[in-house]
Amino acid sequence: MNDPDFITPLSLRSRRVLVTGAASGIGRAACELLSRLEARIVAVDIDEAALNGAVQGLAGEGHAQCCFDVGDVERIPGWMADVAQKGGPLFGVVHAAGLSCVQPLRLLSPAAYRKVLLLNTEAALALARGFHKKAVGDAAGGSIVFISSVMASAGAPGAAAYAMSKAALHGLTRSLAMELAPGKIRVNCVAPGFVRTPMFDRMSAPWDAAQLARVEEDHPLGLGAPADVANSIAFLLADTGRWITGSVLTVDGGYTAH
Amino acid sequence: MDDFYTKLAEILEVDRVAADDVLSEFEYWDSLTVLSVLAMLDSGYGVNLTAANLRELKQAGELAAVVESRKRK
């Protein structure tokens, strides 16, 4: 039964993966799982103290960390070139950094929705641009995973800015998948339901028990954990997803099955 | 707390809010407005309330008093 030559297709041995939003929530869970799959992580976050803690918990070695604001989209390609020059080319990119926004339309200012678009969408595009540059992405090919949301396909009052930013990722995923396939770069997206993360805690802090119960009931399998989404990220990044590109993988405990 | 009343008026889309105005009687007082008010209290004053807390307060002045007593010093 045991084949000594068998290597699980989930293995990311020695592959270098850059993860944004690495200090908490889905990004942190992704870093932890990918490191256990033997990837070398470049953990990126704006919160340096939290990032230090996250990197200390990683398995294996050869990891790096960068305190960088991915909202600074103009600088992303140059910064990624620097990351690759210092530590070697990247096999993968996971864009888990993001900003939530719950505001009624009449209060939604251009400044507010542009900030959401900047972090959730424009940063994703800039990361793909940086990854595609010569000597940044691995010459043998690579894999990009964006984190979207069920809000991209299921509407909710007050979610216009967030939904717009995440729905745009779906179009971005498909177009980049077509454009980058000749270079053997795959581009996919994970669309989670509500996951118990610090972002969710901040968003749900004002809710009363009844509101929280309603959101939980909308997920037949209950609210998700960051590790549930990390599993899908690993699946798409690794060779388990080697024939998958341009897809949006829904990971939502049944939220959109209604 | 003039600043507080100005921000509240902005969210409720009225010219001004007075201390004895009843919150639930404003035209735009709905669940999303409540969330917007809670977000404003958190970002502007460091006061964290729940929707249930807010529903217990009848007049704008009662809310102002809570903010005054709990705001970041």
Q: Residues A169-228: pLDDT tens digits? A: 999 999 999 999 999 999 999 999 999 998 898 888 878 788 889 999 999 999 999 999
Q: What is the mean pLDDT of residues A38-53?
A: 97
* B33 and chain A in contact, CB less than 8 A: yes
Chain A residues whose C-beta sits inside 8 Å of any chain B C-beta:
102-104, 106-107, 157-158, 205-209, 211
Q: Is residue A162 annotated as a catalytic residue, yes or no?
A: yes
DSSP state of A241: G
**Quick one: CA torsion of A234, A222, A25, A186, rounded to 10 degrees?**
30
Q: What's residue B73's pLDDT?
A: 65
**Buried b / exposed e along B25-37 (16+ C-beta atoms within 10 A):** ebeeeeebbbbbb
Name which of B32, B40, B49, B63 to mutate to probe chain A: the one with the most chain A Cβ atoms within 10 A of its Cβ.
B32
**The residue count for chain A:** 258
In angstroms, what separates the C-alpha of A212 from chain B's closest C-alpha? 11
Cβ pair B35:A158 closer than 8 A: yes
Cβ pair A104:B32 closer than 8 A: yes
A95-138 pLDDT tens trace = 999 999 988 888 888 999 999 999 999 999 999 999 999 899 99
Q: What's residue A52's pLDDT?
A: 97
Rg (Cα) of chain B, in Å, rounded? 11
Catalytic residue, candidates A68, A162, A235, A255: A162
CATH number of A16-252: 3.40.50.720
In angstroms, what separates the C-alpha of A106 from chain B's closest C-alpha? 9
Q: Distance of alpha carbon A196 from its chain centroid, rounded?
A: 15
Please determine, for residue A1, whether its predicted confidence score (pLDDT) is greater than 70: no
Q: Distance of alpha carbon A4 from its chain centroid, rounded?
A: 33
From the list B34, B68, B65, B36, the residue with the least C-alpha distance to B51 is B34
Is 0.95 surpassed by the pTM of this model?
A: no
**DSSP string across A92-158:** EEEE---------GGG--HHHHHHHHIIIIIHHHHHHHHHHSTTTB-TT-EEEEEE--GGGTS--TT
Comparing CB atoms, the residue among B32, B51, B52 nearest residue A158 is B32
From the list A226, A194, A200, the residue with the least C-alpha distance to A19 is A226
SS (H, E, C) A159-174: CHHHHHHHHHHHHHHH
Q: What's residue A199's pLDDT?
A: 86
pLDDT means per 10 residues, chain B with 73 residues, are 89 94 93 87 87 90 94 74
Q: What's residue B1's pLDDT?
A: 72
- With CA atoms as reference, the chain A residue closest to B35 would be A206
Which chain A residues are within 8 Å of B48, Cβ to Cβ? 205-206
Count each helix (H run) and each strand (E run) in chain B, helices first. Answer: 4, 0
**CA separation for the pair A93, A113 (Å, rounded):** 25
* B11 and chain A in contact, CB less than 8 A: yes
**CA separation for the pair B66, B44 (Å, rounded):** 14
Cβ pair A211:B51 closer than 8 A: yes
**Percent of chain A at pLDDT above 90?**
85
Q: What's residue A244's pLDDT?
A: 98
Q: What is the mean pLDDT of residues A148-163?
A: 94
Cβ pair A206:B13 closer than 8 A: no
Which residues numbered 38-67 in B keep a CB inside 8 Å of some CB on A?
A: 38-39, 42, 48-52
Cβ pair B38:A211 closer than 8 A: no
Q: What's residue A35's pLDDT?
A: 98
**Quick one: CA torsion of A147, A57, A67, A227, rounded to 10 degrees?**
10
ipTM entry: 0.71
From the list A135, A39, A141, the residue with the least C-alpha distance to A88 is A135
Which chain B residues are within 8 Å of A106, Cβ to Cβ? 13, 28
Comparing CB atoms, the residue among A107, A157, A211 nearest residue B11 is A107
